[in-house]
Structure 1
Amino acid sequence: MKSYAVCGISNRAIGMFIKPLVTQYEQYGRLVGMLDADPRRFAVSKERLPQIKDVPTYSAEAFDQMVQETRPDVIIVASRDNTHIDYILKALEHDIDVITEKPMVTTAEDAVRAIEAEKASKGKIIVTFNYRYSPFHRKIKEMILDGKIGRVTSVDLNWYIDTYHGASYFKRWNRMREFSGGLSVHKSTHHFDLVQWWTDQRPVEAFAYGALNYYGPDGEHNPSKRNGRHCETCSEQNVCPYYTRWTTRTNRTSVLDDHIQGDQAAGSAYTGYRADQCIFDDEIEIEDTYTAVMKYDKGAMLSYSINFSLPYEGYRLAINGTKGRIETTEFHELSRVPFEVPEQTVDYFPLFGAKEQINVVQNDGGHGGGDPLLIEDIFLGIDPHRGYEILAGSEAGAYSIAAGEAIWKSASSGKPIQIKELLKPVSVQPN
């Protein structure tokens, strides 16, 4: 039985890792320690899960003490993105395995530091790319491995984030590039990892455009240019369409979302943290719209776009190869789509032949059914009956981050960015 310590007692940490560990997987592992900068988070987690009332807790500066006293086999990192590197390096210094939420870190430089630290350690890094585990994404991977489309030549991926989910990033710490790396890192790393995993190719060059079109002080739906407002107490709630889309004057709509917990609305559960900051504040400068092209090391090309303020959520994907084409379209969370949508299928078009439509067997769980299967691989070990690699390591994490950073830097400079230049080796500095 392995022992686990968690760094960062976020809602994600509680729901994704701690709760399954102390309920469904208690015979396979045990929680021995929790670390966070905010003591209130320990109280909240123990109120939700009485099973962990006696688990020792530690301040953010007490990592070494936690390791010495609890002797964990694995460190789970689910803290704010920019702090991942600190806990990864500390864990590897102690030869302890690391399971980290994506993005692994927020900069390509830190990604290299993590890889070099891993090489010098007995510990290994796992990055929780749960999108790989979606039944549709696994089916696409299996079709490519079976040679259905031959050698992959190009990928078209357009990702859509609706006004509820999209606005949430600009209400929280994610809106600060120093904390999240920007959304091309925090969010798009999911997508770049999928392309890398599907194609078994690594990005080498990127060119992109990016803009802040919807949020920030110049957003055209901003009721007035004032800083410091919060959705819960704002006097302009009823003239803000991002608020009124989901909330009437007398009733808060219950919105289903596997990315955002309901109790995050005002952020009142935690000390000094609010998740309802105004999406039109002056400090917002990260982009909410990207379009990009990327070249890969085995010849594939990616055409990518993402928009964080759209009427519905989902994506459109096409993967082309020398023998055919795969297509799929997803409309995420049907309860939030204000029109009827078709059931998602995976469509296969051979280069010379008839179209095949595949109805994929699905499973329940967050992120399209990916979360439960990922957790099984983490706490039970990799499924021995799966005939391909799916659990991501540090290299996959690093390339996805470098791709996201390249998108931002290209959009800022107007120049193509070489991925290898971002992933140059650096010296690992003592933490």
Structure 2
Amino acid sequence: MNRIVVCGLSNRALGMFIQPVITQFSQQNEIVGLLDPDGRRIEIARESFPSLSSIPVYHPNQFQQMIKETNANTVVVTSRDDTHIDYILQGLENDLTVITEKPMVTNANDAKRVMEAEARSNGKVIVAFNYRYNPFHRRIKEMILEGKIGRVTSVDLNWYIDTYHGASYFKRWNRDRNRSGGLSIHKSTHHFDLVNWWIDQKPEQVFAYGALNYYGKDGELNPSPTDHRYCSTCMEKQNCQYYMRWSNRRNNLAVKDDHIKSEGIEKSAQNYTNYRPDSCIFDHEIEIEDTYAVTVKYDKGAFLSYSVNFSLPYEGYRLAINGTKGRIETTEFHEPSRIPFPYPEQTIEYYPLFGSKEIIHVLQNEGGHGGGDPLLQEDLFMGVDPSRPYQILAGAEAGAYSIAVGEGVWRSAKENRPFSINELLKQTSDSSQLV
């Protein structure tokens, strides 16, 4: 029996981990402790899941007490990004299995600390990279393993975040690099891990350009240079195109924010103590980048050309993977309810180096992140699927490489120079494989 304690009662904790454990995987898993600094979040968890009412609750400084009293063997880390490191290290010190949301940590130095702690521990770290489990992403992995395109030589990945989703990062704590690592870590680690996993190569060097083009004090659509506004009380929101695209002018009701998981800003704020999820996206304090263009060099010769924008008319990505025997292409449009034009169904196009194009239709499953969440949950709470012929569940090293690339991106943009991944992780190259 997995005896699970949950550190950080975020919406992700409730929906991705607590709910399935209680409703689907209770024969093999039991939640035995909850930890969060916010009493209101504990109330929300217990209101949402009455079976948690008898479960003991703890403050962050009571981690060791929690493990002793609950006899836990598994820790789920779903707290704010910058606090992951504390719970991961304490979990490893107690030889526990640590399941952490991405990003594993917020900087390369902490990533190195996690790998070193895991090497000393009888426990292990699992990073919940659910995007690996998306059916299209699994099929691409399988095609590469089948040798369809030969040795991978280059990857082009362009990611698009729409104004609705992109603005949400700049309303909340994510806009503080000390808390999130910046968006090249908080968000792009998803993407860097996918590429690392697809091509099974280690990133060696990264160079990037980055800029703050849309948000912050110099945002061109800022109604005025006023600081410290909040959407729920702002007198200028009818002049804010970011707000009004998703709002009704007559009653100023914002539509549901899929990252806040509530019916409005005011209701969302009631789910936390002293937390404002509606800070102005044009505040002067914002200095993280919202646009990147990146090049990554890999140890087996591949190159990655990556870009991401956090304020675009639609959400999705375009991908091409080139190899010595052919090319894979796919385009995905996310969040159809927010796309104001017709768009094609996602397929995978395969172009052999010599021959005819093939169009591959992928069988999809239901669930979050393109059907990835339910499959990840099965691996986490039932054990890895023994019929799958390749590694998919991510460990600490995979988490660390994604973090190092992400930090290399923003540092390169700041310092205008390439960064070595080993320089960032302060380690020498070895022959171990990404997992």
Q: TM-score of the superposition, structure 2-length normalised?
A: 0.96
Q: Which amino acid aligns with 2:86?
A: D
Q: In the alignment, which residue of structure 2 is the partner of 1:201?
A: 201
Q: Give the whole-Å Cα distance in 1 for the aligned partners of 2:425 and 2:264.
A: 35
Is 1:278–2:307 an aligned residue pair? no
Counterpart CA distance in 2 for 1:93 and 1:21 is 25
Paired residue secondary structure (2:33) = strand
Q: Report which stretch shifted further, 172-181 or 242-251.
A: 242-251
The correspondence for 1:365, drawn from 367, 373, 376, is: 367
Indicate conservation of the 8 Å contact 2:253/2:264, yes or no: no
Contact 1:232 / 1:276 at 8 angstroms: preserved in 2? yes
> SS of the counterpart of 2:54?
coil
Write the deviation string for residues 113-172 of structure 1: whole angstroms up to 9, x where unpaired.
000000000000000001000000000000000000000000000000000000000011
Q: Secondary structure at the match of 2:83?
A: helix
Query: What letter is aligned with 1:279?
Result: I
8 A Cα contact 1:81 1:180, kept in partner: yes
Could you tell me which residue of structure 2 aligns to residue 429 of structure 1? none
Corresponding position of 1:378: 380
Which amino acid is 1:334 matched to? P
Q: Deviations over 1:313-333 (max 9, x none)?
A: 000000000000000000101
Separation in structure 2 between the aligned mates of residue 370 and residue 399 of structure 1, nearest angstrom: 21
Matched, 1:252 2:269: no
- SS at 1:61 equivalent: helix
Question: Matched residues in 2 for 1:70 and 1:229: separation?
Answer: 44
CA shift, 1:26, in A, is: 1.1
Measured against aligned partners, the alpha-carbon deviations of 1:28-48 in whole angstroms (never above 9, x if no partner) come to 100000101111110011111
Alignment map for 1:272-421 (pairs within 5 Å): 272-421=274-423
What runs of 5+ residues in structure 2 fail to find an aligned partner? 429-435
Q: In 1, distance between residues paired with 2:217 and 2:264?
A: 23
Change (3 A) 1:148 1:255: farther
What is the match of residue 91 of structure 1? 91
- Relative to 1, partners in 2 of residues 1:391 and 1:7: Cα closer, same or farther, differing over 3 Å? same
Is the Cα contact below 8 Å between 1:136 and 1:360 reproduced in 2? Answer: yes
SS of the equivalent of 1:27 reads: coil
Q: Which residue of 1 aligns with 2:46?
A: 46
* 1:425–1:154 Cα change, 3 Å: closer
State the identity %: 65
User: Could you report, residue by residue, the CA deviation over 1:324-379 in whole angstroms, capped at 9, with x for unpaired residues?
Assistant: 00000001011110100000000000000000001110011111111111111000
The reply on whether 1:119 has 2:119 as its aligned counterpart is yes
Shift of residue 24, structure 1, vs aligned partner: 1.2
Q: Deviations over 1:216-274 (max 9, x none)?
A: 011011111122211111111111000000001226364574x4412573422100111
Count of aligned pairs: 425
Q: CA separation in 2, counterparts of 1:270 and 1:255?
A: 17
Superposed displacement of residue 50, structure 1: 1.1
8 Å Cα contact 1:263-1:269 kept in structure 2 = no
Match of 2:9 in 1: 9
Do the aligned partners of 1:264 and 1:275 also contact (CA within 8 Å) in 2? no
How far apart, in 2, do the equivalents of 1:256 and 1:277 lie? Answer: 14
Matched to 1:252, the amino acid is: L
Q: 2:77 and 2:402 mapped to 1: Cα distance?
A: 18
Which residue identity does 2:182 align to in structure 1?
A: G
Provide the C-alpha distance between the structure 2 equivalents of 1:302 and 1:230, rounded to a whole number of angstroms: 39
Please give the root-mean-square deviation of Cα atoms over the aligned residues, in Å.
1.2
Aligned-pair CA distance for 1:425: 4.8
> Structure 1 residues 86 and 327, CA, compared in 2 at 3 Å: closer, same or farther?
same
Contact 1:82 1:179 in 2 (8 A): yes
- The whole-number CA distance in structure 2 between the counterparts of 1:396 and 1:414 is 26
Query: Structure 1 residues 29, 399: CA separation in 2 closer, same or farther (over 3 Å shift)?
Result: same
3-state SS, counterpart of residue 98 of structure 1: strand
Q: Which residue of 1 aligns with 2:26?
A: 26
Q: Is the 8 A contact 1:255 1:336 kept in 2?
A: no
Is the contact between residue 135 and residue 365 of structure 2 (CA under 8 Å) also seen in structure 1?
Answer: yes
What one-letter code is carried by the residue in structure 2 that aligns with 1:159?
W
Question: Aligned partner of 1:117: which letter?
Answer: A
Q: Distance in 2 between matches of 1:177 and 1:202?
A: 25
| Deviations 1:40-69 (CA, angstroms, capped at 9, x unpaired) | 110011111112111110011110110110
Secondary structure at the aligned position of 2:26 is classed as: coil
Hey, what's the Cα distance between the residues in 2 that align with 1:28 and 1:265? 37
* Change beyond 3 A, Cα 1:263–1:47: farther
Amino acid of the structure 1 residue aligned with 2:24: Q
AA aligned opposite 1:287: E
8 A contact 1:157–1:303 mirrored in 2: yes
Matched to 2:380, the amino acid is: I
SS of equivalent to 2:75 = strand
Distance 2:21 2:229 in 1: 38
SS at match of 2:209: strand
- Structure 1 equivalent of residue 70 of structure 2: 70
Which sits farther off after the overlay, 21-30 or 105-114?
A: 21-30
* Counterpart secondary structure, 1:75: strand
Q: CA deviation at 1:282?
A: 1.0
Matched, 1:216 2:216: yes
Matching residue's letter, 2:423: E
Letter in 1 for 2:303: M
User: Separation in 2 of the partners of 1:45 and 1:232?
Assistant: 25
